Structure 1
Amino acid sequence: MTAEKESRKNLTITTLSLSLLTVMAGAAVAPALNTISAYFGDAGQTLTQMVISIPALFIVIMSIVFPKLCDRFKSKGLLMTGLLLYVTGGSLAGIFDNIYIVLAFRALVGIGVGIIMPLSTGLLSFYYSKDKQDKLMGYSSAMNQMGGVIATLVAGLLASVSWRLSFLVYLIGLLSVVLCLLFLPNDRIGTESGKKETMVFARYYPFIIAMFLLMFTFFVYPAEFAIETAREGVIPQHFIAVIMAGMDLIAFLGGLSFVHIKKIAGSATKIVAPTMFALGYASLWLLGGWVGTITGSALVGFANGLGIPFIISTASHKAGRSAAVTVMPILSMALYLAQFMTPLMLSAITKAVGETAVRHLPYLTAFISAVLLLLWSLLIRTSAPSRKRGHWDFHGNDEA
């Protein structure tokens, strides 16, 4: 292997390692939330639940200022700052007895992920040609899902000893710290012309709205699955976590399969994930029981693993090498804003309709959202990029 190939391999491993971390922003300590709530019982349920949700809020805030940071700092310095905030803010939160200090450290995690997330995929657009990006975007999505599996299992084991120890799961970020120090170039990323991208939302709104709809559709599952399954009473409690972990593994396979499905389905790839979401939530909503629950979970997981790299890779093709500072921050904002808003929106819908008015109301809501995502995806008309001309636009034309 030549030195250039070895260097490119190390860069690929380094960049993909970042994808292990981003999904863990809030979800990593979810297995310990019950014991955290019990320990901070006087603080109230809203504050203790913010241990999970507040990172997403600060990721959204950071997505707004991230392009400005890229104007002033190079990629390696930015990424090391984000990783150090992630590791220290995440792992040290468990040593404090004041809920407000804990939340402050959780905010640091959000700031760190707000830097890491757009770079984890944006650097793939910056360093790799378009013919390699689809494959790597699929790998990135798969690694993201695998990070969720690892975080859930490790945090669950640590939480069985103490809720404080569950925060140590964020030390996995040290792996990326070492890899970035050794192998990541310290380039300045930005638009290819050196000029700032304007009217980002107007240029990329189909992808932004699609990402919000996709993440809302998916996040109904982790937000409501345990509650709905326990309420149905068919599946024992100890199998619920196993099924959810299996869903993450299926999502991992969805990410790995993205490039192959795209080769087979072509432009129809855009409707595969929304269709699978709709079928999955229909199974959870109408069938239930063991068959409906396992079938629905598998379809929802695969759809999530497939849908995210489709949106990111298609938008990145349009943005070119400037993706990290143009479309990726606002896609990150849409993704995490949906995570933050999903519980609030479900609560509002439940209050408006009535909890007992419709069987499995959250699943019905997600089914409707999946149909909306399917209809919206039809607006994203893509064509395969040619070898001479690269970017995709919303109307199926290649841009020079």
Structure 2
Amino acid sequence: MALKISKEQVRALVGFYSGTFTIMSILVPVPILGAVAQAFPDTPAMLIQMLVSCSSFAAIAGSFVFARLARYMYRRTGMLISTAIYLVGLLPVAFHDSIYPALFAAIAVGFAMGGVQNTVGAMITDYFEGDSRGLLFGLCSVFVGLGGTLYTMVAGRLGAENWWMAYYTYLIIAVVLVVMFIVLPKGKKEVAETGKTQRARIPREVIVVSLMVFFYFSCNQVFSNNISMFLAQTGLGDTVMSGNVSSVNTLVGAIGGLLVIPVHRLFKRQTLTVNAILGAIGAVLIFTAGSIMPVFAGAFAMSFAYAVYNAISSQYVSEASDTVGMAFNLAILNSSGSLGNFFSPMMIGGVAGAFGGTAADSFMVCAGLAAIVGVVSAVYFAKVKSPKAASTETEVQAG
């Protein structure tokens, strides 16, 4: 699909895709979770997993804070502020005698991610329409995947000897911040400068898709939370191998992002259904693996499914929403995913505990829940053929 774009749109593209490149920096701790567990042997496994999952919870606050600020500051300002907050991720480099500075860093990084996600989605909506918007949401997955691949590979190698050295990876974001400062256009404010009160409507489609995103993202988070420990528990790999598998997982997200439009044209309104099932298959491949190759295959399937699911869910919410309140509805969607990520260790890990509590058990529960999400999705989208058909709305005051 060819895009006719202005110079300002080019600057916006470079700027918000630079921001998208930072999102998966929350995965920096993933390759070193096993090493952190060894460094703090008395620390509960759930607390160690929170080094990844609490970022997703903090992203909820970031998403709504920057959705609110969108009424008072330009997109450029919001993007620069949220990106600068990522640099708190360097904290464990100086303070690594306890796990708590790393947890604080994870919270700050998650807050930054929430701000970036919301601002990127709003900027795409500001500058592009129709199929172009769907294509650009899909391309977000490309930059998310490329960024995630770089962060996990660098973190895995830096943290091979000392776990805390992996956090030097956040220096990459300082370079990204400079690029954004140079190229980002001022952008828009969501509410006219007259200060007139406006209402944001929440269509039924936004609520339903957000609920499905909550459960599906909870399933997908199992990979980040457990792959390092799965490889260690099964003897299939060490920290470097965990970094390699995580890199494949995030890199495939780029492939999924490039193929969002063809996949959507093929499966139409059942695209979310198909990808939920694909994610379940990926989890099955991992927890039944007896060698490293099925693990790579499962990582591939889970990442591809997630990339398409993430892009299409964002497109559905944007299509169902009015211009006013777009950032608010995107914040609901992003927060649903963040909540799913955060509660994954407690929800899926808790159920897995009934089967033994190993990382393999978590992947097994993940497969079952993803399959259920697929069935529910199939039923819903068989009845509702377009966002406009989901016309029941709830009004909320956006300010």
**In the TM superposition, what are the counterparts of 1:172-251 in structure 2 within 5 Å?**
172-190=172-190, 195-198=197-200, 200=202, 204-232=206-234, 235-237=236-238, 239-251=241-253
Q: Which residue of 1 aligns with 2:71?
A: 71
- The question of whether the paired residues in 1 share the 8 Å contact of 2:205 and 2:320 is answered with no
Q: Which residue of 2 aligns with 1:260?
A: 262
CA shift in 2, pair 1:278/1:18, >3 Å: same
Q: Which residue of 1 aligns with 2:315?
A: 313
CA shift in 2, pair 1:207/1:31, >3 Å: same
Q: Which residue of 2 aligns with 1:22?
A: 23
Q: Which residue of 1 aligns with 2:107?
A: 107
Q: Which residue of 2 aligns with 1:369?
A: 369
For residue 72 of structure 1, give the secondary structure of its aligned residue in structure 2: coil
1:369 to partner: Cα distance: 1.4
Q: Which residue of 1 aligns with 2:388?
A: 393
CA shift in 2, pair 1:106/1:240, >3 Å: closer
1:306 to partner: Cα distance: 1.3
Distance 1:41 1:232 in 2: 19
Distance 1:307 1:394 in 2: 20
Q: Which residue of 2 aligns with 1:388?
A: none
Distance 1:84 1:232 in 2: 39
- State the TM-score, normalized to the length of structure 2: 0.83
1:190 to partner: Cα distance: 2.2
Distance 2:158 2:300 in 1: 27
In the alignment, residue 61 of structure 2 is paired with which amino acid?
I
Q: Which residue of 1 aligns with 2:148?
A: 148
1:324 to partner: Cα distance: 4.9
CA shift in 2, pair 1:10/1:350, >3 Å: same
Distance 2:172 2:93 in 1: 16
In the alignment, residue 68 of structure 1 is paired with which amino acid?
R
Distance 2:52 2:167 in 1: 12
- The question of whether the paired residues in 1 share the 8 Å contact of 2:212 and 2:377 is answered with yes
CA shift in 2, pair 1:226/1:73, >3 Å: same
In the alignment, residue 16 of structure 2 is paired with which amino acid?
T
Distance 1:395 1:45 in 2: 42
1:10 to partner: Cα distance: 2.3
Q: Which residue of 1 aligns with 2:396?
A: none
- State the TM-score, normalized to the length of structure 1: 0.83
Q: Which residue of 2 aligns with 1:271?
A: 273
1:285 to partner: Cα distance: 4.5
CA shift in 2, pair 1:377/1:288, >3 Å: farther
1:258 to partner: Cα distance: 0.5
CA shift in 2, pair 1:327/1:9, >3 Å: same
- The question of whether the paired residues in 1 share the 8 Å contact of 2:198 and 2:324 is answered with no
Distance 1:165 1:229 in 2: 21
- The question of whether the paired residues in 2 share the 8 Å contact of 1:94 and 1:163 is answered with no
CA RMSD of aligned residues (A): 3.3
Distance 2:268 2:243 in 1: 35
For residue 23 of structure 1, give the secondary structure of its aligned residue in structure 2: helix
1:38 to partner: Cα distance: 5.4
Distance 1:182 1:291 in 2: 43
**Number of residue pairs matched?**
382
What whole-Å deviation, never above 9, does each CA across 1:195-224 have from its counterpart, x for those lacking one? Answer: 544463856111211211221121222323
Distance 1:285 1:101 in 2: 32
CA shift in 2, pair 1:394/1:66, >3 Å: farther
